[in-house]
Amino acid sequence: MEIDYRLNTNDATGSLDISYRLLKYVNNSKACILYNYLRNKNKYFAYNNQFTYINGNQYFFNITADISAVTMLSSLEIRAALKILIDKNLIHTEKKGVPQKRFFHLLGETYSDVILGVK
């Protein structure tokens, strides 16, 4: 099976695209790196139709070890970046299951407003 690199979470080119507007809005480079990773994961789950629905919204699951392996952020840096992204209303998280797993929901309207310069 041929890999579609446009949807590959681990970008084959090794590049990372970060919007200057997003960086200015978030004011934290590690939070931008994490958000970019979560956007790529969201695309992957959408492409494979693997979302989990919580309260009617599309969520996807990911663990800190996987995030850290790709982004090179430590668990403490991930936790701090998540707090920033939640406070800026870019993502929402839910913990479900036993043992608990963290699910992510990207709030696209906020991101669109940031990219279009509304915020």
What's the CATH code of the domain at 92?
A: 1.10.10.10
Rounded to two decimals, the pTM is 0.82
- Residue span of the structural domain in which 69 resides: 27-115
Q: Answer whether 34's CB lies under 8 Å from 43's CB.
A: no
Q: Strand order in 91-96's β-sheet? A: 52-54, 57-61, 101-106, 91-96
CB 32 within 8 A of CB 70: no
Position 108 confidence tier, pLDDT thresholds 50, 70, 90: confident
Length of the chain: 119
Q: Which residues contact 95 (CB under 8 A, 6 or more apart)?
A: 101, 102, 103
Q: Where are the alpha helices (DSSP H) in 1-119?
A: 20-26, 29-47, 64-71, 75-87, 108-115
Number of independent structural domains in the chain: 1
Whether residue 22 is contained in a domain is answered as no
Q: What is the pLDDT of residue 11?
A: 53
Please indicate, yes or no, if residue 71 is contained in any of the structural domains. yes
Structural domain includes residue 17: no
Q: Give 41-77 pLDDT, tens digit per residue.
A: 888 898 899 999 999 999 999 999 999 998 899 999 9
Name the pLDDT band for 119 (thresholds 50, 70, 90). Answer: low
